[in-house]
Chain A
Amino acid sequence: MTYKFIGKVNSVLKEPVIYFVTIKDFLYIGETESHPVIRWGSHLALHGTLLEKIRRIDRNLLLEDNEIEFYAFECTYIKNTFNRLRIDYALKYTEFQLHLLFKTRVNTVNKKFGREIKVISDTPNKPKFFKDSGGECEKLAVCIFDDFLNNYSL
């Protein structure tokens, strides 16, 4: 009997999470306040945002034997710092900063992946009225960026 274990996702139902999805040379960055599999499921449902984006780039990406990989990071700092009404802003801001990092540190990213990576998610709009005191969310984005690149991207 052949089988393989393909992963495990630990999260409570409501959790601020930043996630990455990769398929071949493409990277999708997103955020959710719920268990990430809920969002991932909707991404890959018929007409889901991720599925549509991949289709638009190259239909064959889905037909070929390309693995779709999911990575999730619980944003503990956000969970412990912001009240429920502000968590959404903080997450969007962190996601925004991550998009900037992937677009401005292109060489670091490409070297770590060993190939040219293209971000296919749209940079989110800046959340209005959000104040990143001391640039903490920006620092959080850098930590996640470094962790993802150093430990999970290969």
Chain B
Amino acid sequence: MDKQTVNLNALRIVEAISRIGYKPSAAIMDIVDNSVMAKAKNIAIEFDIDENIAINRKNNVITYRISDDGIGMSKEAIVNALTPGSDNNYSENSLSKYGMGLKSAGFSLGEKICVLSKVQDVDTSVVAYVDVSTMDENYYVHTSDKYNDLFENDILGDLKSGTAIEIRNVHVPHEAAMTTINVLAEKLGVTYYGFLSSENDPLNITIKYHDKHIKVEPHDMLFKENAKSEYHADDYDYKTVCHTLKDYEIELEDAPDAEPIKVNVALFPRDLMKNYGGFTKEEKKLVASYKISSKNKGFYVYRNGRLIRWGDTLSDGKGGTLIPRDAYNIRGTIEFETQHDDALHVDVSKQRFDLPAQVSEALKEVLTYPLEHAKEIMKSCTEKYTDFESLIEGDSFNETNSELYEEDSMEYFEPSDQIAEKVKIDKLKEETKKLQDELAEELKGADEILIDEKVVPKKIRYSEKLPSDHLWKTGYDSDTGVFVVINKLHPYYDLVFKQYNESSPERQSLEAIFWSIAAAEKIIRTKMDVEEQVLLQVLERFKSDFSYNINHWVRQNFNLFD
């Protein structure tokens, strides 16, 4: 057998790595994993965002930056970390996966990975970068001992040690910063729950964008702290979590000398109770904070304290799942460590595992009661809910469509004048500011944090104080994008909107029409190359005639829903 040396094309390899299919949030969390493993206690995730593009629009990230105060890396270690297929020595409880962490995460985000690092007792920082644009068939890692060869400022400042990773030349297209930020705000607190909630020396993670700092709080998806320890149908209150299975131990037959794995299970009320008329605002907020949904049900699997599976319904080994499809209100955790890897068939990515038959059979029986109780809770909540109905108008649409943003149907066909567009956008923002001041009480909290850390832009709002007879008013700000204020004093609201429950599909479909009209108005106003005064007159006339005619229709059809 002959052995030949084959030359690999570095550029092609890097391009292949960058197309692994990472979402930006997953790639950033991979880099955060490195910081955690480097014993960092403070981690900052920063987004440099193009100020001319709304925060919820695609392609608005200029740079991603993740910095930490971990042990830092020597020049040799940085070169190693930036080199595909390099040798790595993983510690016993490593979170690492393929040994491709920084490269795959970095190149999936952008073309240039820059590193600044400092180790204790060494005075100077070391910088290094790899850049796709400088690659040919060879792979180059550029290094320097002067931070200002690569960075404007010494990001690490007075820290004794630490590392900053900056991803420049971010790929286009990429998802909106707001989308990534929302996912990170939601997932980081769960993913690193054990690290963030540690009593001794907890980890701090901060997400920074514009002038906002979001501190990531530890988030226990089982809400154990305020949970009841038992579920009983006769004293169930429709809002409190029941932590019915506490640190239940299951021994793994295939790992006879290992500690048992731990299982916790909690039961939640039905999601619709967040709108239950019989609850106070605080009680509704409490239920909303659980974020009960299909994607959040199931098991949160932690390996070495780091989440590896989110809401896994767990295979029963017979083609089905241990958590049924409609059991939205049951969640659990499974905690294990490196010592269980072989018995649980943890794969090389450390993200997947298979429950051996012995464990899935045991778990199936352990879950008998919780599943039955979860079903009972769903049924009793539905019955209770029918007593009352009181929702916040627009919030169902806003929650469901937090990532909806206006799209220009002619974007690729019409030339765009970005300078003129910015002037027009600023004018629209000014008008919106005036409108918001007038409706201050009703419209406050354009970027209200509705559920935990998740920013839910209020794209649909209702008002009784709209300063015109129009059925709607269009607004625009950087945090929300386009929003529409629907006039509750317009007769069409009384005849049609009020017929439909605030969260019903019919109501949301109506709201979608008005949001789309507002989106179209914003695009026409800011993108069309037409004399502005004329355009504003046309739009104003359109809204006026629309509102007038629909009012006329209402008068003709006032008993339509009788």
The docked-state distance in angstroms from the alpha carbon of A103 to that of B359 is 8
- A103 partner residues in chain B, CB cutoff 8 A: 358, 361-362, 365
- Interface residue ranges of A99-138 to B (CB < 8 Å): 99-100, 103-108, 110-111, 123, 126, 131-133, 135
Q: B365's contact among A105, A111, A123, by CB below 8 Å, is which?
A: A123
Specify the main secondary structure of chain A where it touches its partner. Answer: helix
CB <8 Å contact, A100 and B251? no
**Would you call B252 and A107 a contact (CB within 8 A)?**
yes
* Contacting residues, chain A, for B248 (C-beta < 8 A): 104
In the assembled complex, the Cα of A110 lies from the Cα of B358 at a distance in Å of 14
- Contact status B251-A108, CB under 8 Å: yes
- In Å, the complex CA distance between A61 and B368 comes to 32
B365-393 contacts to A (CB < 8 Å) = 365-366, 368-369, 372
Chain B residues within an 8 Å CB radius of A132: 230
A131 surroundings in chain B (CB, below 8 A): 232, 234
Chain B residues whose CB sits within 8 angstroms of the CB of A135 once the complex forms: 230
Nearest to A105 among chain B residues (CB) is B251
Q: Say whether B249 faces chain A, with CB atoms less than 8 Å apart.
A: yes
- B157 interface contact, C-beta 8 A: no
Instruction: Report Cα–Cα, A116/B362, bound state, in Å.
Output: 16
Residue of B nearest to A111 (CB): B256
Complex Cα gap A105–B253 (Å): 9
A residues near B249, Cβ cutoff 8 Å: 104-105
Tell me whether A104 and B251 are in contact (CB under 8 A): yes
CA–CA, A132 and B231, complex, Å: 10
In contact, A100 and B256 (Cβ under 8 angstroms): no
- A56–B224 Cα distance when bound, in Å, is 45
Q: Which of A99, A107, A133 contacts B253 (CB 8 A)?
A: A107
Q: A106 near B251 (CB under 8 angstroms)?
A: yes
Q: Is there an interface contact between B253 and A100, defined as CB atoms closer than 8 Å?
A: no
Residues of A within 8 A of B260 (CB): 104-105, 107
Q: Smallest Cβ distance from B255 to chain A, in angstroms? A: 8
Q: Is the CB of B256 within 8 A of A110?
A: yes
Q: How large is the interface on B (under 10, 10 to 19, 20 to 34, 35 or more residues)?
A: 10 to 19
The reply on B250 being an interface residue by CB < 8 A is: yes
How far, in Å, is B229 (CB) from chain A's closest CB? 8
Interface contact B368-A126, CB-CB below 8 Å: yes
On whether the beta carbons of A106 and B365 are closer than 8 Å, the reply is: no
Task: Please report the C-alpha to C-alpha distance between residue A106 and residue B248 in the assembled complex, in whole angstroms.
Answer: 14
- Determine how close the nearest CB of chain B comes to the CB of A39; give it in whole angstroms: 23
Nearest B residue to A131 via CB reads: B232
In the complex, what residue of chain A is closest to B359 when comparing beta carbons? A104
Report the separation of the CA atoms of residues A100 and B250 in the bound assembly, to the nearest whole angstrom.
9
Pairwise interchain contact A107-B365, C-beta atoms closer than 8 A: no
Instruction: Find chain B residues with CB under 8 A from A100 CB.
Output: 362, 365-366
Complex Cα spacing A75 to B212, Å: 62
Nearest CB of chain A from residue B318's CB, rounded to whole Å: 16
- B residues in contact with A104, CB < 8 Å: 248-251, 260, 362, 366
Q: Please, how many angstroms separate the alpha-carbon atoms of A24 and B411 in the complex?
A: 77
Beta-carbon contact of B251 and A99 below 8 Å? no
Known: A100-B362, A131-B232, A135-B230. A107 touches B251 (CB 8 A): yes
List the B side residues contacting A96 at CB < 8 Å: 368
Q: Which of A64-110 contact B (CB under 8 A)?
A: 96, 99-100, 103-108, 110
By a CB distance below 8 angstroms, the chain B residues around A99 are 365
Is B358 a contact of A106 with CB atoms below 8 Å?
Answer: yes
Separation of A135 and B232 alpha carbons in the complex (Å) = 12
What is the bound-complex CA distance between A133 and B248, given in angstroms?
Answer: 18
Which of A13-53 touch B at CB < 8 Å? Answer: none
B251 to chain A, nearest CB (A): 4
User: Which residues of chain B are within 8 angstroms of A126 by Cβ–Cβ distance?
Assistant: 368-369, 372
B280-314 with Cβ < 8 A to chain A: none
Shortest beta-carbon distance from B317 to chain A in Å: 14
Closest chain A CB from B343 CB (angstroms): 11
Contacts of B252 in A (CB 8 A): 106-107
Complex CA distance for A110 and B256, rounded to whole angstroms: 9
Cα separation A135 to B369 with both chains bound (whole Å): 13
Q: State the CA gap A130–B366 with chains docked (Å).
A: 16
Within 8 A of A (CB), among B211-256: 230, 232, 234, 248-253, 256
Specify which chain A residues have a CB less than 8 angstroms from the CB of B358 in the assembled complex. Answer: 103, 106
CA distance A99 to B368 in the complex (A): 12
Inside 8 A of A108's CB, which chain B residues have their CB? Answer: 251
Cα A131 to Cα B234 in complex, Å, equals 10
Separation of A106 and B358 alpha carbons in the complex (Å): 9
What is the interface of chain B, defined by CB distance below 8 A to chain A? Answer: 230, 232, 234, 248-253, 256, 260, 358, 361-362, 365-366, 368-369, 372
Given A104-B249, A107-B260, A126-B372, 10 more pairs with CB closer than 8 A: A96-B368, A99-B365, A103-B358, A103-B365, A104-B260, A104-B366, A110-B256, A111-B256, A126-B369, A135-B230
- Report 22 cross-chain contacts, Cβ distance below 8 Å, ordered by A residue: A100-B365, A100-B366, A103-B358, A103-B362, A103-B365, A105-B249, A105-B251, A106-B251, A106-B253, A106-B358, A106-B362, A107-B251, A107-B252, A107-B253, A107-B260, A108-B251, A110-B253, A123-B365, A126-B368, A126-B369, A131-B232, A132-B230
Q: Which 10 A-B pairs have the closest CB atoms?
A: A107-B251, A103-B362, A104-B250, A104-B362, A107-B256, A106-B253, A106-B251, A123-B365, A105-B251, A126-B368
